[in-house]
Amino acid sequence: MLIILVYLLFNFRTMLYLAENMKYLRAGKKMSQKSLADALGITRARYSKYEYRLAEPPVDILIRLARYYAISIDDLITQDLCLKSRSHEPDL
């Protein structure tokens, strides 16, 4: 039972980071969902489901995203990239 709970909590956190990171990275490039979906070879509707956590992207889409943004899949799904970038901003 404990293993299932740990898995569910990890999966929820991972999905939360993934969706937020997808939004953050796309916004950073000033791209629409449609233009990014086209670059990934998928429909805008399919891409939108990933950003809104209505579906999990399969491994091949994670690979395409990681290559597109030149980051690791690990960072894409397990790191809060928004927080990470704020911590590296110089103080003004």
Domain ranges for the chain: 2-87
pLDDT greater than 70 at residue 3: no
Model-level pTM? Answer: 0.77
- Reference 33, options 17, 45, 24, 41; nearest CA is 45
pLDDT tens readout for residues 21-62: 999 999 999 999 999 999 999 999 999 999 999 998 999 999
Name the residue with higher pLDDT: 46 or 78.
Answer: 46
Please tell us whether the domain made up of 2-87 is placed in CATH 1.10.260.40: yes
- Reference 14, options 45, 46, 43, 53; nearest CA is 53
Mean pLDDT value across the chain:
85
CB-CB contact of 17 with 51 (8 Å): no
- The confidence score (pLDDT) of residue 25 equals 97
- The confidence score (pLDDT) of residue 90 equals 46
